[in-house]
Amino acid sequence: MPFVHPDSLLVVTINGVGLVLELAYLAVFFIYAQSKGRKKVAFGLGFDVVLFVAIAAISLTALHGTKKRSLLVGIVCDIFNIIMYGSPLTIMAKVIKTKSVKYMPFYLSLTNFLNGCCWTAYALIKFDIYMLVSNGLGAVSGAIQLILYAAYYKSTPKDDDDFAGKPSTEVQLSNTNAAAAASV
């Protein structure tokens, strides 16, 4: 926000668009999710809102000047950004253990890498150390995911689950049709 870091219009714009898209996704989720899932996500959203309000209140009341505010918000954002980019590490360990990329989607890894690269380039242009640290690590994490994908793609066994959505060559009768056919 401008009261935290001046000249941040591009970051506010892209995060505003991301927020609107995420709210649309959450609206669809809340329409179709079961009650247990709704409660879990609502709790997480409530936690996020409380955390956001607390950080905003602390930075506006206790910290005077944009440098101090940028330090607090920058460190908090770096922590959560590193957690976001580091979340595929468990899947990467599973890929190495099983020698299969079945559980690591290629497009998610590619997008993770490209997102890290774009924000790292932006951080270098503006030389924003807070953006540079977490997004640089994100670009490296994405590159490692892509290298793992390339290394283990050919050793991934192909099974029927990989062909979901493609027409099946097998015909399966329902129980009622099978019973009726057996009685004839």
Q: Identify the pLDDT of residue 120.
A: 93
Average pLDDT, the chain: 81
Domain boundaries, the chain: 1-62, 66-155
Which CATH class for the 66-155 domain?
Answer: mainly alpha
Q: Identify the pLDDT of residue 172.
A: 55
Alpha carbon 32 to its chain centroid, in Å, reads 21
Helix axes 66-86, 35-61, angle to 10 degrees: 150
Q: Identify the pLDDT of residue 163.
A: 46
pTM value surpassing 0.75: no
Location of structure tokens 């580091």: 86
Residues of the chain with pLDDT under 50: 162-165, 179-184
CA dist 16 and 22 (Å) reads: 10
Q: Which residues, 6+ apart, have CB-to-CB distance to 145 below 8 Å?
A: 88, 92, 104, 109, 112, 113
pLDDT tens digits, one per residue of 1-43 = 555 666 777 778 888 898 899 999 999 998 998 989 899 999 9
29 closest CA partner among 44, 47, 15:
44
Q: Identify the pLDDT of residue 28.
A: 93
Which tokens belong to 178?
Answer: 């099978």
Under 8 Å between Cβ of 138 and 112: yes
Looking at the chain, the whole-number percentage of residues with pLDDT higher than 90 is: 22
Q: Identify the pLDDT of residue 39.
A: 92
Across the chain, which distance is largest between two alpha carbons, in Å?
Answer: 86
Q: Identify the pLDDT of residue 169.
A: 56
